[in-house]
């Protein structure tokens, strides 16, 4: 009898030990699966409405058409509040105001920029993930109405930042990403919601971004409609077509 | 005998040098120069930038570098790289050495200047810690003026500062830097205020002014309540804060002068009190916590309190400890904050035979059900050992809405509220239902429970907000309800 008790106890201990041993690897696999699940979008064309609230200005609503590809290039043709064109061609960010024929150039032209990728978890797509990041799986939690989310805490060792990531446990789609500094202060917060299945890809029709910037806390809510995914974007979309006589203003960027 | 002239003057005609000769000499000089250049030219097969960790435009063009270069050409490459560093904001980094090895490899040694440490001056205590934390992520990175200036702007705005100046100082004898961040506080004051409708005191405008000095500040505010053609509340308050060495703490001294017209529910009559209350206190802030300990001595004239047309003079000495917790500072979305406030006070007054005790606890949190839907629970509890109505709290205030024109006061009350807030227009209009429940001892010393509810709408503007409530007694109906409006802002 005593012997069988010992065997049961030993078995439990072995299971716990193995679970501990393989848990981190399983969690990393899960995290990689989640990153992969969010990489489905290669290009995007949609109508957008943006609600931008900065500490400096009153809330503004922008509407227009947004085209982007996964190399980081994007173009926004705003129709409201006025006709404006925003172009990021991986060299600089151009913002052209048609009415005033004014072109702002942000960043240094002919400089390699870090561009925002369509995949919201692109910063973790490094082959040296373990050298820069330390990932901790924090289990599942209930969110919304009886849905479960995986929770991850990822420490960026190099930059001393913490990423808190929540993904839907069923679809692996990102729900929120919060970046905090070492003092626990939120620096950036992104919320992804109203997911719709388009071409077998879950796409968030609403993205909320809160950021602590030089202008104070900025909140940007973008709502997407008439969404076209993964089509071949003609190269000329990202060509600069601003009038030669446009008044240019250069702005520093990092 | 005349001296013999041994020299004979001969006229030699000087012929002009022909143009052809000039040309020949020039060609010869050029050939000599080219020959000399060839003697000092250095053959380069490729170039390597050593010690660089930032993206450089020039790096790409150096990959295919090949050919004969003079010393000046090589030096120009070094200058170009240094210039690019500086243009990109890395103003303390530079090309330290250029060397060509026997294989023809040009080795460009770059000295990148890294930030080794940061010191913040001009701020103290909690503020200093927070500012330091916002710059801490730069430690170990290459010094970049633009990025630091950008962060300085953020800090300046976030902490309402006059300026944030950054000085890189050479770290010992190395090329790395020690970052000196100097914070300058604003010497300009801020007005703040609002207008609301309180169920008890009516339309209540409030105006305040906060003026900071180098190590101190003054806070002044006044408030008036007007209902049923009568001023039911008038209050003026002034406090002078003297920040202690670490600035996390402040000693303050002030005075409050007030007039209130209060309503008995059990006796169906009003009484009025006029008070003057000097206060001395100490406030301490640590991360999410605020501790406030203060002593007040209040002299009051109370009219018609128990006996009609009689004035009672009351002297009250009270010691209060408030403890607050809020994670609002760290959050980007303030609506998601958790706030807790605990208060305990004890004192002696002419109205009470014994020493009295007052305690209260309040908590609020928020949970997001989805991006535009959040649930907000609130709890509140108040208790006093005093049996005097004067020390009791109204029950049907903003924490228990739906019961207008009811004035019962309680020595022990507990309220709970659950609100659902839906974001109708992003960042602008929010609305949703709420229910609030109260369980309390009424003025007749009887335990009573009441439930109210209604709809709340919030409009958020740049520096202001408006909250509109329509609430009613849930045991009756919406037709029995009333409207309450709250508005506030900082300007």
Q: Which pLDDT tens digit goes with each residue over A51-91?
A: 988 766 778 899 999 999 888 889 999 999 999 999 988 77
Q: Is B161 on the interface with A (CB under 8 A)?
A: no
- pLDDT (tens digit per residue) in B438-454: 999 999 999 999 999 99
| CB-based contact B131:B181 (threshold 8 Å) | yes
Q: Is A142 on the interface with B (CB under 8 A)?
A: no
What is residue A237's three-state secondary structure?
helix
pLDDT over 70 (residue B19)? no
Residues B39-54 have a mean pLDDT of 79
Q: Which of A9-23, A109-123, A196-210, B5-19 has the highest mean pLDDT?
A: A196-210
DSSP E strands in A9-132: the ranges are: 43-53, 60-69, 74-80, 84-88, 93-97, 102-106
Report the alpha-carbon distance of residue B251 to residue B246 in Å, rounded: 12
Region for residue A119 given its phi and psi (left: phi exceeds 0; alpha: psi -120 to 50; beta: otherwise):
beta
| DSSP H or E stretch at residue A42 | none
Instruction: Report residue A237 as tokens.
Output: 């979309």
Answer whether A58 sits within 8 Å of B462, measured CB to CB: yes
* Per-residue confidence (pLDDT) for residue A2, from 0 to 100: 55
349-368 of B, contacting A, C-beta below 8 A: 368
* Per-residue confidence (pLDDT) for residue B162, from 0 to 100: 77
Least-confidence region, from A15-24, A203-212, B202-211, B330-339: A15-24
**In this structure, is residue A17 part of a structural domain?**
no
Q: Is A108 on the interface with B (CB under 8 A)?
A: yes
Residues B365-394 have a mean pLDDT of 93
pLDDT over 90 (residue B462)? no
Nearest to B343 by CA among B401, B290, B274: B290
Query: Given pLDDT bands bounded at 50, 70 and 90, which one contains residue A215?
Result: low
Query: Given pLDDT bands bounded at 50, 70 and 90, which one contains residue B240?
Result: very high
Count of domains observed in chain A: 1
Query: Given pLDDT bands bounded at 50, 70 and 90, which one contains residue B250?
Result: very high
Report the alpha-carbon distance of residue A152 to residue A121 in Å, rounded: 12
**In this structure, is residue A174 part of a structural domain?**
yes
Size of interface A-B (CB pairs under 8 A): 98
Answer whether B371 sits within 8 Å of A108, measured CB to CB: no
**In this structure, is residue A179 part of a structural domain?**
yes
Give the residue with greater pLDDT, B416 vs A245. B416
Answer whether A181 sits within 8 Å of B329, measured CB to CB: no
Report the alpha-carbon distance of residue B456 to residue B454 in Å, rounded: 7
Region for residue A75 given its phi and psi (left: phi exceeds 0; alpha: psi -120 to 50; beta: otherwise):
beta
pLDDT over 60 (residue B38)? no
Give the residue with greater pLDDT, B279 vs B53. B279
| CB-based contact A137:A118 (threshold 8 Å) | no
Q: Is A98 on the interface with B (CB under 8 A)?
A: no
Q: How far is B288 from chain A (nearest CA, A)?
A: 11
**In this structure, is residue A32 part of a structural domain?**
no
Residues A159-172 have a mean pLDDT of 89
Residue A193's domain comprises 43-252
Q: Is B154 on the interface with A (CB under 8 A)?
A: yes
Q: What is the dihedral of CA B138, B142, B143, B145, to 10 degrees?
A: -90
Q: How far is B312 from chain A (nearest CA, A)?
A: 51
ipTM reported for the complex surpasses 0.90? no
- pLDDT (tens digit per residue) in B320-349: 999 999 998 889 988 899 999 999 999 999
**In this structure, is residue A93 part of a structural domain?**
yes
The residue among B130, B155, B370 with the most chain A CBs within 10 A of its CB, best to mutate, is B370
- pLDDT (tens digit per residue) in B395-411: 999 899 999 888 999 99
pLDDT over 90 (residue B429)? yes
* Per-residue confidence (pLDDT) for residue B474, from 0 to 100: 95
The three-state DSSP-derived secondary structure of chain B is CCCCCCCCCCCCCCCCCCHHHHHHHHHHHHHHHHHHHHHHCEEECEEEEECCCCCCHHHHHHHCCCEEECHHHHHHHHHHHHHHHHHCCCCCCEEEEEEECCCCEEEEEEECCEEEEEEEECCCHHHHHHHHHHHHCCCCCECCHHHHHHHHHHHHHHCCEEEEEEEEEECCCCCCEEEEEEEEECCCCEEEEEEEEECCCEEEEEEEEEEECCCEEEEEEEEEEEECCEEEEEEEEEEEEEECCCCCEEEEEEEEEEEEEEECCCCCCEEEEEEEEEEEEEEEEECCEEEEEEEEEEEEEEECCCCCCCEEEEEEEEEEEEEEEECHHHCCCHHHCCEEEEEEEEEEECCCCCCEEEEEEEEECCEEEECCEEEEEEEEEEEECCCCHHHCEECCCCCCCCCCCCCCEECEEEEEEEEEEEEEECCCEEEEEEEEEEEEECCCCCEEEEEEEEEEEEEECCCEEEEEEEEEECCCCHHHCEEEEEEEEEC
Task: Give the residue from chain A lying closest to B464, CA to CA.
Answer: A58
Instruction: Report residue A148 as tokens.
Output: 């479960």
pLDDT over 60 (residue B72)? yes
**In this structure, is residue A36 part of a structural domain?**
no
Region for residue B294 given its phi and psi (left: phi exceeds 0; alpha: psi -120 to 50; beta: otherwise):
beta
* Per-residue confidence (pLDDT) for residue B119, from 0 to 100: 86
Report the alpha-carbon distance of residue A160 to residue B358 in Å, rounded: 45
Give the residue with greater pLDDT, B465 vs B488. B465
Q: What are the backbone dihedrals phi and psi of residue B398, each rounded to the nearest 5 degrees, phi first?
A: -65, -15
**In this structure, is residue A20 part of a structural domain?**
no
Instruction: Residue B10: count other Cβ atoms within 10 Å of its Cβ.
Output: 5
CATH of the domain at A209: 2.50.20.10
Q: Token match 């706030």: residue?
A: B339
Query: Given pLDDT bands bounded at 50, 70 and 90, which one contains residue B161?
Result: confident
Q: Which of A240-249, B166-175, B181-190 has the highest mean pLDDT?
A: A240-249
* Per-residue confidence (pLDDT) for residue B32, from 0 to 100: 61
Give the residue with greater pLDDT, A164 vs B39. A164
What is the sign of the dihedral through the CA atoms of A129, A133, A137 and A140?
negative
428-487 of B, contacting A, C-beta below 8 A: 428, 461-462
**In this structure, is residue A14 part of a structural domain?**
no
Instruction: Residue A1: count other Cβ atoms within 10 Å of its Cβ.
Output: 5
The residue among B88, B371, B424 with the most chain A CBs within 10 A of its CB, best to mutate, is B371
Task: Give the residue from chain A lying closest to B330, CA to CA.
Answer: A185
Report the alpha-carbon distance of residue A186 to residue B330 in Å, rounded: 6
């Amino acid at each position: 009898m005593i012997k069988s008790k010992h065997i049961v106890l030993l078995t439990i201990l072995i299971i716990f030990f193995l679970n501990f041993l393989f848990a981190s690897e399983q969690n990393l696999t899960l995290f990689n699966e989640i990153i992969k699940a969010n990489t489905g979008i290669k290009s995007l064309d949609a109508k957008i409405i943006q609600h931008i609230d900065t500490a400096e200005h009153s809330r503004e609503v922008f509407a227009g058409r947004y085209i982007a590809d996964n190399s980081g290039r994007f173009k926004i043709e705003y129709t409201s509040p006025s006709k404006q064109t925003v172009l990021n061609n991986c060299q600089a960010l151009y913002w052209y105001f048609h009415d005033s024929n004014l072109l702002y150039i942000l960043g240094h032209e002919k400089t390699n920029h870090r561009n925002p990728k369509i995949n919201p978890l692109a910063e973790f797509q490094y082959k040296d993930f373990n050298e820069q990041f330390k990932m901790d799986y924090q289990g599942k939690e209930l969110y919304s109405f009886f849905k479960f989310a995986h929770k991850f805490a990822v420490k960026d060792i190099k930059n001393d930042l913490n990423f808190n990531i929540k993904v839907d446990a069923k679809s692996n789609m990102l729900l929120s990403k919060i970046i905090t500094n070492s003092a626990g202060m939120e620096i950036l917060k992104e919320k992804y919601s109203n997911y719709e299945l388009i071409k077998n890809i879950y796409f968030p029709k609403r993205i909320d971004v809160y950021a602590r910037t030089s202008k104070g806390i900025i909140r940007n809510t973008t709502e997407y409609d008439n969404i076209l995914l993964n089509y071949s974007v003609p190269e000329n979309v990202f060509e600069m077509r601003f009038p030669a006589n446009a008044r240019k203003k250069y702005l520093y960027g990092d | 005998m005349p001296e013999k002239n041994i020299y004979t003057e001969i006229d030699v005609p000087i012929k002009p040098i022909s143009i052809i000769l000039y040309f020949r000499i020039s060609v010869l000089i050029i050939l000599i120069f080219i020959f000399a250049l060839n003697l000092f030219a250095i053959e380069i097969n490729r170039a390597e930038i050593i010690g660089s960790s930032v993206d450089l435009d020039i790096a790409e063009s150096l990959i295919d570098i090949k050919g004969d270069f003079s010393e000046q050409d090589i030096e120009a490459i070094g200058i170009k790289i240094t210039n690019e560093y500086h243009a990109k904001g890395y103003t303390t980094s530079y090309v330290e050495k250029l060397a060509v090895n026997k294989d023809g490899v040009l080795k460009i040694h770059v000295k990148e200047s890294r930030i080794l440490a940061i010191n913040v001056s001009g701020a103290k205590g909690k503020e200093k810690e927070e500012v330091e934390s916002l710059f801490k992520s730069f430690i170990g990175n290459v010094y970049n003026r633009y990025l630091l200036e950008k962060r300085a702007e953020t800090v300046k705005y976030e902490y309402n500062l006059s300026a944030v100046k950054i000085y890189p100082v050479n770290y010992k004898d190395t090329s790395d830097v020690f970052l000196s961040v100097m914070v300058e506080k604003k010497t300009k004051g801020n007005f703040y205020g609002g207008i609301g409708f309180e169920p008890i005191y009516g339309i209540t405008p409030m105006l305040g002014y906060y003026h900071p000095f180098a190590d101190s500040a003054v806070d002044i505010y006044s408030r008036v309540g007007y209902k049923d053609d009568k001023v039911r509340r008038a209050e003026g308050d002034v406090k002078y804060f003297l920040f202690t060495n670490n600035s996390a703490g402040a000693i303050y001294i002030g005075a409050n002068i007030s007039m209130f017209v209060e309503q008995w529910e059990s006796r169906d009559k009003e009484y009025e009190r006029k008070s003057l209350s000097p206060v001395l206190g100490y406030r301490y802030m640590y991360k999410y916590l605020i501790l406030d300990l203060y002593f007040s001595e209040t002299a009051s004239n109370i009219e018609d309190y128990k006996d009609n047309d009689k004035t009672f003079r009351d002297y009250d000495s009270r010691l209060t400890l408030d403890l607050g917790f809020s994670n609002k500072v760290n959050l980007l979305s303030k609506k998601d904050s958790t706030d807790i406030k605990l208060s305990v006070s004890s004192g002696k007054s002419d109205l009470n035979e014994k020493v009295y005790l007052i305690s209260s606890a309040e908590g609020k949190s928020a949970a997001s059900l989805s991006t535009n839907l959040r649930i907000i629970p609130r709890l509140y509890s108040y208790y006093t050992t005093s049996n005097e109505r004067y020390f009791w709290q109204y029950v049907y205030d903003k924490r228990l809405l739906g019961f207008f024109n009811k004035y019962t006061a309680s020595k022990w009350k507990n309220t709970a509220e659950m609100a659902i807030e839906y974001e109708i227009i992003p960042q602008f209009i929010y609305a949703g239902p709420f229910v609030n429940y109260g369980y309390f001892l009424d003025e007749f010393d009887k335990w009573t429970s009441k439930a109210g509810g209604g709809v709340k709408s919030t409009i958020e503007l740049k520096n202001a907000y408006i909250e509109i409530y329509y609430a009613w007694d849930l045991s009756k109906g919406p037709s029995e309800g009333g409207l309450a409006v709250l508005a506030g802002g900082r300007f």
